[in-house]
Every structure is written in structure tokens, then in C-alpha cells.
Structure 1
Amino acid sequence: MRIVKSGRRRLAAAGAAALVTGALVTGCGPHAHAGRVGKVQRVEPGFGGEEFSSALSFRYVGDSGVNETMNQQLEIVNVAAESLVPVLSFQAVDRNDHVLPQVKVSTVYGSDRGNLAVPYGGTIDILRFSGPRMHDVADVRVTVRSVAAARINAGPHEVTTQALDRHGREISKFERFSAVRLTNEDDFPVAVRIAYILWDQPPKGVTQQAAEVTPIGGLTRVPAHGSAVVRVTGKEAVAAVARNSDGPAVSLKAYNSQ
């Protein structure tokens, strides 16, 4: 996320669209028209959730060009009437649509391991790149490994987070907080996880990577039109908050899960 405290705006890198047709799609290069259908390839044996696969479509946005928005977003659209949990895999490609085999693609919210519930309408995940030529990634090819109906319905509205000190007072996410208050504005209860994200500070023209992702608490139920408080516990979470507090670029995000 573009959370550099100075509010400095970075140059936008063009995003590209990739729509699902069947189960496997390719990204459209950085200069392609949004919505172009990718080349369909054979679905691997054992693919699950065929009845849901056509309900999903994807769009990769490296940098939206809008200040204070996260880079390397995978926009996931779901037109099914129910919440879905996909398991995805990715191939990074350069601006010439050549695969970058040495670049590993992973995610912040877990759409590559069945950890992200996608509500009707859709949601986002954040991609992470590592390995040689990671800064040459212009788009991704998305493979849907499986799709299942979510056990817990995901809400269409983002569950908001508010950092709290040890006395329960509201403080900035840039400070050393002791708890997180989650607020759900939907008409039904939802289940979410919290990711505390440290962003790198790349040079101009390079997209921002999630350098470190730390879970805060576990799966948390948030009541309809209500709130829940999650304490910062465990050595990893406590150390991450202590280490990264007062830093220039952190996010505190809740995402639908199960």
C-alpha cells in the first residue's frame, strides 16, 4: 500500500486484465486492452470446483497510480451467488509476455493456499514476487487449481481495523499498538484474519513489495453491525509490531477467511 508518510506519489505502472475462461488464463500484457480473454490451456487432472470456475475472473494491477493504494493487486471478481474459496497458482511474465521462471509468486491473503474467501462481487489479494528479475514482472498468468463454496459467508464490505493501545485508546497503526478493533458493517457475521504488512521502499518506477507479513491473532468472528477486539499476542506478532512501529510504511488489513 502506498503509505509512505510523506504522501509522496509514485509513477504509475500500467496494469493489465486477465479473464477466466474455464480454469486457466493468461494475463494480458501491460499495453493490452482491459478485459481481453487470455489463452485457455488444459485443466490439470483432479481439478475441483468446476461448477464455480467460470464465476471467477482476475485482473492484475501493478500500480493503480492512485496515492495510498496497495501495489501488486490481484483483483478477483466473483459472479456466483455465494462466497468462494479458490486455490490459485501464478506465473510471472514480463512486458513481452515471456514467462519469468525464476520469479516466485506468492500472496499476502492466501488465495494460493485456500485461505481467502471471495464474496459475491469480489475482493483483492496482494501478490509478492521474489527471485531474479522480480522487478521485471509486468503481469501474471493465473491458474485456478480448485474452487469450493466458503463455509462462512464473506461480506461485501471491508472489515475495518483500528489500532488500540494497552488502555483501549485509538492510536495510529504506525505506533506500537497492543490490540486491533475490527468493525463489520454488513448485515451478517463474518470471519476474518488480520495481516500486519511491512512494505519496502523501492526506487521510483518500481512497484512496492510486501517485505514482511505477520498475522495478528487467528480467525476471528465479527458480529453483524458490530466489532471484535483482537489482542497482539505471540512472540512473532509482538516482535513485528515492536520492530516496525514508527516506520514509514505499514498496513493493518483484515480479509475474509475461513
Structure 2
Amino acid sequence: MERRRTRVAGWVVAVSLAAILVGVTDWSSDPAKSALSFAYQREGGDNRISQTLTIKNANTESVVPVLAFTALDRNGDPLPRVHVRTVFGSDSGRLVVPYGTFLDILRFSGAGEHQVYDVRVTVERLVAAKRRANVHPVTVEELDSTGRAVSKFTRFTTVRVTNIDPYPVTARVAYLVYDQPAEGETQQAVSVTPIGGLVHVPAGGSADVKVTGAAATAVGRYSGGPAVSVKAYNSQ
């Protein structure tokens, strides 16, 4: 994604498109917590994001989880002083997860943050989403003040969110800044700033979101940096 050895470059969303079942949502019952499973990947490798959590949802509807995390060391022992947060909000009810799989990105802070090799995940709450999540993830494009597509490393003023699926969706957009870790340490998002609020994206269409307030400040400060990213994710 980014420059340098840009580990975060290739945002390859782990969405099993071939495995996603469309149009079979059963709203008659509550989603089952046991239908969620998780896989943590500490290091994504070159041009891949580190510290990702794959969430697999075997419920046939899109769901909104509230997850709790315990950081674990290489021996599987808890690291009680490490605080775990997420980028997309699977720990706070912001992320809508489709049937199939999707990713969140974890952030660690506190004593022992560089010793995390795995996480233990607990599903504290799970509800059906108000609106179905995308089969094909929403995409973003950075635009300047004239509406021209530009690099995310410049001072863009608008983000265009595009939905190619044949039904409307709601999403949020975040501006991420990654650190430059020492050899052997994982790269993580050290700054996450929302761009706008909840975005309503029409079926097969796009919506433009202005970069204002804290987001404009962050873009002005970090544009030209070696590891920045703009990500959209289904939310409600």
C-alpha cells in the first residue's frame, strides 16, 4: 500500500466471495454467537497488512458483533497490560460482517504491545444487522477540489465511496496512519481518523464524502507520509 517496504500496501480483504450466499437472510431468529469464528494473523508479509483478525460468519445474515480481546504472547499466555482496540469497530458494534468472512485490524498499546503473537476473542454481543453488508466490498477513491482522482499521499478533499452490488448499503470511512516498525515487529495503525459519518451508498452507485475537521487536519499532517491508507467498511 505504501512506500518503503510498505507492508500495508496490498489491502487484500479476506472476503470469501465465492462462499457468500446472497438473498437467503433469515430474519426470524437471532444470530448465533457460535456461528462466528476467528483467526489472527500477526504478520501479513510484504505489501500486506499486519495484525489482522479474520471474522468468519456462518450465520446466513449480516451481523454486528461486539468482541472482547485478550492479547497473548508466543506461549499463549495472557498479556494483561496490553490493551486491544480495533480499526473498524468489531469491539464496539460499528462493523457489519457479511455471511462469509471479513477482516478487522487490531491495534495494541501498553506494556508488552510488541510481544503479542495471538489473541483470544470473546463474543460479548451479536445482533442481526439492520442492512445487509456488501458481497463486493465498498471501495474508495481520493479526489482533489476539482474532482480529479489523486493519490492518497496528497491533500485530497473528498473521498468517493462506490458500491457495485445491486442493493444500497451503509458504510464508514477511516484515514489510517501506520508506524514504521523495527525489524521483527509488526506494523500497526497508530492513528485512525473517521472521514465523515455514516455514508449511505446507493445500489450500483457512489457517494462523495467531504474531508473536513479532524480528518482534514490528519490528511494535511500525514500526506506525503510513507504509510497511510483510506479504508471503507460496512457499518450502521
When the two structures are superposed, what TM-score results if normalisation uses the length of structure 2?
0.88
Residues 130/82 of structure 1: CA separation in 2 closer, same or farther (3 Å cut) = same
- The answer on 1:241 being equivalent to 2:219 is yes
- Aligned-pair identity (%): 55
Alignment of 1:91 with 2:89, yes or no, is no
TM superposition shift of 1:88: 0.3
Counterpart selection for 1:63 from 36, 43, 56: 43
Pick from 132, 135, 153 the counterpart of residue 132 of structure 2: 153
Q: Name the counterpart of 1:256.
A: 234
SS for the counterpart of 1:109 is coil
Tell me which amino acid in the other structure corresponds to 1:240: A
Structure 1 position 68, deviation (Å): 2.0
1:231 aligns with 2:210: yes
- 8 Å contact from structure 1 (residues 58, 77) kept in 2: yes
Taking structure 1 as the reference length, the TM-score comes to 0.81
1:111–1:211 CA distance, 2 compared to 1 (3 A): same
**What letter is aligned with 2:69?**
F
The equivalent residue for 1:38 is none
Residues 121 and 156 in structure 1, CA contact (< 8 A), matched pair in contact too: no
CA distance in 1, matches of 2:35, 2:169: 22
Amino acid at match of 1:64: G
| 3-state secondary structure, aligned to 2:215 | helix
Post-superposition shift, 1:64? 2.5
Give the equivalent residue in structure 1 for 2:152. Answer: 173
SS of corresponding position for 1:188: coil
Q: Tell me, what secondary structure is at the counterpart of 2:142?
A: strand
Q: CA offsets, 1:138-174, max 9 Å, x none?
A: 0000010010000111112111110000111000011
Query: Kindly tell me: are residues 188 and 51 of structure 1, through their superposed partners in 2, closer, same or farther at Cα, counting changes over 3 Å?
Result: closer
> Which residues of 2 match residues 35-50 of structure 1 at below 5 A?
none
Structure 1 residue 53 corresponds to structure 2 residue 51: no
CA positional deviation for 1:4: 3.6
Go from structure 1 to structure 2 and tell me whether the alpha carbon gap of 1:94 and 1:231 turns closer, same or farther (over 3 Å shift): same
Query: How far apart in 1 are the matches of 2:102 and 2:7?
Result: 24
Extract structure 1 runs of 4+ deviating beyond 2 A. 6-10
Q: CA–CA distance in 1 between the matches of 2:229 and 2:35? A: 30
Of 64, 81, 86, 2:60 maps to 81
Matched residue type, 1:251 = S
Question: Aligned partners of 1:174 and 1:238: how far apart in 2?
Answer: 13
| 1:8 CA displacement | 5.4
Counterparts of 1:225 and 1:7 in 2: how far apart (Å)?
Answer: 35
Tell me how many residue pairs correspond in the alignment.
Answer: 216
RMSD over aligned CA atoms reads 1.5
Q: Does 1:187 align with 2:166?
A: yes
**Matched letter for residue 37 of structure 2:** S
Q: Return the alpha-carbon distance in structure 2 between the equivalents of residues 199 and 7 of structure 1.
A: 12
Q: Does the 8 A contact of 2:43 with 2:51 survive in 1?
A: yes
